[in-house]
Structure 1
């Protein structure tokens, strides 16, 4: 086992954490990949930064709605299933995560994970614990 000589630093929020990397006060910042890609896209020199390494966790996203409105849930389920099965989900992903985003044309350039791509094969309303 390789032993790393590391010092962990604390920051008040994600912006301060990224600023510590930008200013050389920290060498790295571990966080959800989408947030890291967002900070990289919005810095003046995105090419100076890379999001690297294996995923540390898998965190499914979900839609929260009132549990007292089953008709609305069925509507949302149908709409999401249609978006996924008609390949619109992949188009939307490319639009918002791989193309320049107005108004500043920041480009996140986040590759779609194999887990997300696989989840489109079998749309479900179940969320893992």
Structure 2
């Protein structure tokens, strides 16, 4: 009987801890070829008109618990974009959503792009991660 309680306790704690982690995902819209190894610019801005780029997909990240700011999810967006081969995430929008452990967990999404002229990245506002 004691082993059943121990198993139930371990299972409950494992499920609880797993559900608190932040998650990220991406939806590719173009074939990128390979991942990108450099820093990724994450910005709320859109690209200036005439910037040569390729849209590689959309990326999103959700904190399943907590009430922190949306910016804490930017590294997850950058990692997802990097995996798609992107060097920037543009048009980032954030908000709140109800989750199992929070009434207002942060969420963020944006468009993963590969900007052809990497020097143009320095002219854009945002965080390079």
State the TM bucket, normalised to the shorter chain: under 0.3
TM-score of the superposition, structure 1-length normalised? 0.27
* TM-score normalized by the length of structure 2: 0.27
- Structure possessing the higher relative contact order (Cα contacts under 8 Å, 6 or more residues apart): 2
